[in-house]
Amino acid sequence: MAILIHPHAEKRLIERGATKDEVSETVAGGESSPARLGRVRFRKNFVYNDYWRDKNYSLKQVEVIAVMKGDDWLVLTVVTRFF
């Protein structure tokens, strides 16, 4: 099983402060739940302890919306939250 990233999601990674490794970890080992239109939401928290947009945060939550494409996951979008 591979984790494929749609070009839309790849753009969002950069804009929203996530990495490809975090997306892969989130899909592989994050908490999953159903999402709209038959998609799956994966969510995982990461220790961050860094600055994002001039503010210091200790935790980053990565949320991935994906769909099964054959035997692979296709990541459609990525959302991050900083705490």
Give the total number of structural domains in the chain. Answer: 1
The stretch 12-16 carries a mean pLDDT of 92
Q: In the 3-class helix/strand/coil scheme, how is the chain assigned residue by residue?
A: CCEEECHHHHHHHHHHCCCHHHHHHHHHHCEEEECHHHCEEEEEEEEEEEEECCEEEEEEEEEEEEEEECCEEEEEEEEEEEC
The count of other CB atoms within 10 Å of the CB of residue 80 is 18
Average pLDDT for the chain: 96
Q: Which residues span the domain enclosing 51?
A: 3-82
- The whole-angstrom separation of Cα 53 and Cα 17 is 10
For 67, half-sphere exposure in the C-beta direction (CA atoms, 13 angstrom radius) is 9
For 19-49, write each residue's pLDDT tens digit: 999 999 999 999 999 999 999 999 999 999 9
